[in-house]
Structure 1
Amino acid sequence: MALSGDHKSRGELRIYDSEDEVKTVLAEYVAEISDAAVQEHGVFALAISGGSLIDLMGKLLQPPYNKTVDWTKWYILWADENVVSKNHEDSSFKHAKDVFLSKVPIVPSHAVSINDSVSAEEAAEDYEFVIRQLVRTRVVNASEISDCPKFDLILLELGTDGHVASLFPNHAALNERKEWVTFITDSPTPPPERITFTLPVINSASNVAMVATGESKADAVLLAVDEIGPDRPSIPARMVQPPNGKLVWFLDKLAASKLEDSDLNN
């Protein structure tokens, strides 16, 4: 590991030499939170964004995690998902099933996919209903400071434009405060239709992990965690600030390359 430290209100920064090292330590981090959650309240409620984050779960298939993690206690949901068929190549559920879910003894019903036979708006409504049921039955904790669910961990990847989940810069979905899950039909990157957790849900989590690797993420990392000036735009990732939870950034050196050494040591 190259550097670690707190960056004021922007969370804890953990910076590693390579993307592969990030994946290794992130798997360890997920396993530790899983163990703690299971010991504390009997289950581990995880929400994960799509894309390359799912590939890191493959590290959990390796020793020691394949033997030590209590997979039967996991509930895995999507912080965002493309509104496509579960068999479509753009489905995060399919990606996770191929890479990870089919190789560990997670209870099939505990991997909660979206309804892929309805519109994006209906899919968001259905997914929120499922989460409300999980809160009602205490599978997912309720936040002490809002009416939102309190996931044990929400795992997000930083986009090059600063988006997280499917909350994109200057999009109306960023302003949603009432719903837990909302939908978009105009994603700037394909596919256009998606469901996504809203900011209040993300910020109600016990733990939020933000992952960014590669030089293409360096500008977004700077905007997300550096002191912001009047000439710098505010990006969605900067709005992730759980008031009653812990935010940890997992970065490689390339993604952190535009941060000043003085910033990293704050």
Structure 2
Amino acid sequence: MLFSLLQVPILRGKVYAINDALPADGAADDYETCLTHLVKSNVISVSAATGFPKFDLMLLGMGPDGHVASLFPGHHLVKENEKWVTFIKDSPKPPPEGITFNFPVINSSANIALVVYGAGKAGSVHAALRNSQNSDPLPVQMVSPEGELVWFLDKDAASNL
């Protein structure tokens, strides 16, 4: 049975949206402050292993270049390991500015569902799942939750496997 999001009873007070009226750097700081408050009030737990917020489930997609969230190959943000949320102002994919969780938060998740579709992503899927050894791993290869990582691929994305 399929449900639309309109049918799921989610209370407004349980949705923590990014303040898109702020510039990217301000929005990242604001969202990290929000997460800090949610951790302190025990709405979000903390990973015992890392000390970062621990989400029960994180849903991620992957770009044709193997990026996840706004963490792009060769970009300095893939190495950020202190901030929970940061901003990008030179994104190689539109929009040029945005905010993102960093890998310590992503990887502190209990579980991650990685949803990938389209033939344009088949090369990166192949590289990631066949453990291609590059000097710089694709960001998708850096996804490693504390629990399970489950890939959901359509036929086109899986065509090079």
TM-score bin, normalised by smaller chain: over 0.9
> 1:239 — aligned with what?
142
Aligned residues: 161
Q: Shift in Å at residue 116 of structure 1?
A: 2.1
- CA RMSD after TM alignment: 1.7
Match of 1:218 among 112, 119, 122: 122
Q: Shift in Å at residue 167 of structure 1?
A: 0.7
C-alpha distance after superposition, 1:127-175 (max 9, x if no partner): 0111111111111111010110010100001111101011111111101
**Structure 1: which amino acid aligns with 2:127?**
L
**Alpha carbons 1:223, 1:234 under 8 Å: kept:** no
Structure 1 CA distance for aligned equivalents of residues 131 and 28 of structure 2:
34
TM-score by length of 1: 0.57
C-alpha distance after superposition, 1:26-49 (max 9, x if no partner): xxxxxxxxxxxxxxxxxxxxxxxx
Q: Shift in Å at residue 241 of structure 1?
A: 1.2
Which 5+ residue runs of structure 2 have no aligned equivalent?
none
Structure 1 CA distance for aligned equivalents of residues 17 and 90 of structure 2:
21
| Deviating 4+ runs (over 6 angstroms) | none
Q: Shift in Å at residue 109 of structure 1?
A: 2.2
C-alpha distance after superposition, 1:215-241 (max 9, x if no partner): 1110010121112235x8521000001
Structure 2 CA distance for aligned equivalents of residues 256 and 131 of structure 1:
35
Structure 2 CA distance for aligned equivalents of residues 185 and 241 of structure 1:
26
Structure 1 CA distance for aligned equivalents of residues 39 and 49 of structure 2:
15
- 2:56 is the alignment partner of 1:113: no
> 2:45 — aligned with what?
141
- Greater per-residue helix proportion: 1
Structure 1 CA distance for aligned equivalents of residues 3 and 34 of structure 2:
26
> 2:3 — aligned with what?
60
> 2:110 — aligned with what?
206
**Structure 2: which amino acid aligns with 1:202?**
I
TM-score by length of 2: 0.93
**Alpha carbons 1:223, 1:233 under 8 Å: kept:** no
